[in-house]
Chains A and B, each alone.
Chain A
Amino acid sequence: MLVVAIFFIGLPSVATNFQTFEWAEVLIFAIAIMGLNLLVGYSGQLSLGHGAFMALGAYTSAILIHRYHVDYLATIPAAGLLTGIVGFLFGIPALRLSALYLALATFALAVVTPSLIKRPVDLTKGTEGIVLRAPVPPFGLQMTSEVWLYFLTLGIAAVLFWLAWNLVRHRPGRALRALRDGEVAAAASGINVAGYKTLAFGISAFYAGVAGSLYGIATAYVSPDSFPVSLSILLLVGTVVGGLGTIPGPLLGGIASFFLPILSQQWVPTQTWIPAQVASAIEKAGPAVSYGALLIAIMIFAPNGGVGLIRAGYGILQGRLRAGDRGTGQAPPDAQTI
């Protein structure tokens, strides 16, 4: 925990401006993934449409800044709140949908999002998009825009992670996990299933909205094509690859989401054990092929994501250390139980 904190706080001093900006985007993804994780990992509802919520947050901020000249800092909670309310309302009909149907419906939402954004042209400026100015550090602090952005994102991420951790530790977290693992049994135990499920949707959308808002501010531009269906898929992938139903998972997920598409293209040529023709074919084929293949491989071999791998490794290590205690050979409990 401390190591992570030191790493993130110290990053801008050793990284270039561009790298700092990249890591700010990682944190933005991590925030959105934290929200999605609450929904998928803790309440067991599958959403393939969180890109749409990010779009809502981003456009809310952009329109408030551009049209109504609201200070960009104030738009972040506003965007989050609005998206959260929309998410909560979305959660109401979602109650009736089983996991697969919800995935289907949210997938359709994600595909339709760009065309929905383009429609109200006077509000969203259609395909043109809205251009914003880069955020200026307040109080005359001596730092570049990227570094300020990074610390802003870091601060918000830290607060939101802490909030999520608290939520999960106490009653709401237990209720969510109970209804994820056995909805009928949870209801029979007196848990307000409908209430908690819609609440999960609302909170998860709030996180996505904040992330979207930050995304728009960071890139200083929003357009319908910034939010294609692949964004929603990327968020879900990040959630699972990081580690579903865990708190550190989304951080790993954010890193994975950002770097996986980039690295999957760059990694292959460096692997000398792959025959040259295969490697060059994969390289020319583009990121989608390696990304898709990597995704499938990860799902087959490490479905519990990064945190799962770490825990499994830790479990093996513990088993080896406790050599005299070979009686129980139990595997650690499965974190993924949808």
Chain B
Amino acid sequence: MQEFMQQVVSGIASGGVFASLALALVLIYNAMGLVNFAQGEMAMFATFIAFTLVDHGLSYWIAFPLTLVIAFAGGVLIQRIVIRPVERAPVLTLVIITLGLATLVNGAAGFLWGYIPRAFSSPFPVSTISIGGVVASLQDLGVIGVSAAVLVLIYLLLQHTTIGLSMRAAAHHPEASRLLGVRTSWMLALGWGLASAVGAVSGIMVAPVLLLEPNMMQSIIIYAFAAAVLGGIESPLGAVIGGVIVGVTVNLAGAYLPFVGGDLRLAVGLAIIVVVLILKPNGLLGRPSVRRV
């Protein structure tokens, strides 16, 4: 039982990582109806920036928010330069552009920092504490804490500030928002910036565990897709719930199902995606969409 709870806690920690990246995906989907296939690579790039800052002597707790700001700026830039010219293009064009972006960012990271995996030191001590008989690592608890804090902040931003309201309005109904004085194009850019920053949290949280290298986020993004799809791709809360469920499920499957083992855990993520899309395409918290002729 104890080991089970430990796997669950560890799964929740992974879930926090997946949830953050999934939230980024949801933010962009809500703004543009597009799944950003480059989200994982952007997160990885931001993590490398954090690594460089820490390497140059900055304390982790200064580098972390600074990286988020840089990631935010990067997201805005990408939206302005790459996405804005093709805002109204069909889905396929946008998908390929995000794929191209993913390739580009991955290659750029490889060029700037090389492909050798590096250790990314975690600010949380490696020790464990015991809560009611269950041993949980401080690393895991730290990840859960940070992810939760970021998610709560995003929630507060979107629901309880004027600018959050403007962003939601611009995503929901661009024409009406424009008439009400909302600068919709910049709201879109803000959305990308925010998504990029949230994705960066995901990358920074997972780097100590996975070792930092350009291909680090390629499996995480699959789990993030699973989380977003499970929660409902338009629902930020769904992304969080989905993330936790995916994290716990994948962990438990890896630990207790013999044929899954270590290498097929990603296939569990795929299986979740397929099953959810077949049984409940709108996810747990999504709303069914109406198709017009």
Please report A residues at the B interface, Cβ cutoff 8 Å.
40, 46, 48, 93, 96-101, 103-105, 107-109, 111-112, 115-116, 118-119, 182-185, 188, 229-230, 233, 236-237, 240, 244, 284-289, 291-296, 299-300, 303, 336-338
CB contact between A288 and one of B106, B229, B289 (< 8 Å): that residue: B106
B281 and A97 form a contact (CB under 8 A): yes
Within 8 A of A (CB), among B252-286: 263-264, 266-267, 269-270, 273-274, 277-278, 281
A285 and B263 form a contact (CB under 8 A): no
16 A-B contact pairs sorted by A residue (CB < 8 Å): A46-B95, A97-B281, A100-B34, A104-B273, A105-B274, A108-B270, A115-B264, A185-B293, A285-B111, A286-B110, A288-B106, A288-B108, A288-B110, A299-B93, A303-B93, A336-B90
Given the known interface contacts A46-B92, A296-B82, the answer about A104 and B106 at a Cβ–Cβ threshold of 8 Å is no
* B105 on interface, CB distance cutoff 8 Å: yes
Q: In the bound complex, what is the Cα–Cα distance between A96 and B266 (angstroms)? A: 23
A289 and B107 form a contact (CB under 8 A): yes
Given the known interface contacts A107-B37, A111-B222, A184-B291, the answer about A338 and B91 at a Cβ–Cβ threshold of 8 Å is yes
**Chain B residues touching A, range:** 35 or more
Query: How far is the CB of A177 from the nearest CB of chain B, in Å?
Result: 15
- Please name all residues of chain A whose beta carbon is closer than 8 Å to the beta carbon of B85 when the two chains form the complex: 300
A111 and B218 form a contact (CB under 8 A): yes
Given the known interface contacts A104-B35, A104-B225, A108-B269, the answer about A292 and B92 at a Cβ–Cβ threshold of 8 Å is no
* B58 on interface, CB distance cutoff 8 Å: no
Query: How far is the CB of B276 from the nearest CB of chain A, in Å?
Result: 10
- Please name all residues of chain B whose beta carbon is closer than 8 Å to the beta carbon of A100 when the two chains form the complex: 33-35, 91, 95
* CB 8 Å contact bits of B80-117 with A (1 = contact, 0 = none): 00100110011111011101111111111011000000
Nearest to A303 among chain B residues (CB) is B93
B99 and A233 form a contact (CB under 8 A): yes
* B219 on interface, CB distance cutoff 8 Å: yes
Query: How far is the CB of B77 from the nearest CB of chain A, in Å?
Result: 14
Q: A294-B100, A299-B93 are in contact. List 16 more A-B contacts (CB 8 A).
A: A93-B274, A98-B289, A104-B35, A104-B225, A104-B273, A105-B277, A109-B270, A112-B269, A237-B99, A288-B108, A289-B108, A289-B111, A292-B102, A299-B86, A299-B100, A338-B90
CB contact between B267 and one of A96, A97, A116 (< 8 Å): that residue: A116
Q: In the bound complex, what is the Cα–Cα distance between A98 and B291 (angstroms)? A: 10
A288 and B103 form a contact (CB under 8 A): yes
B293 and A184 form a contact (CB under 8 A): yes
- Please name all residues of chain A whose beta carbon is closer than 8 Å to the beta carbon of B229 when the two chains form the complex: 101, 104
Q: In the bound complex, what is the Cα–Cα distance between A183 and B85 (angstroms)? A: 28
Query: How far is the CB of B61 from the nearest CB of chain A, in Å?
Result: 32
- Please name all residues of chain A whose beta carbon is closer than 8 Å to the beta carbon of B35 when the two chains form the complex: 100, 103-104
Query: How far is the CB of B66 from the nearest CB of chain A, in Å?
Result: 25
CB contact between B108 and one of A182, A237, A285 (< 8 Å): that residue: A285
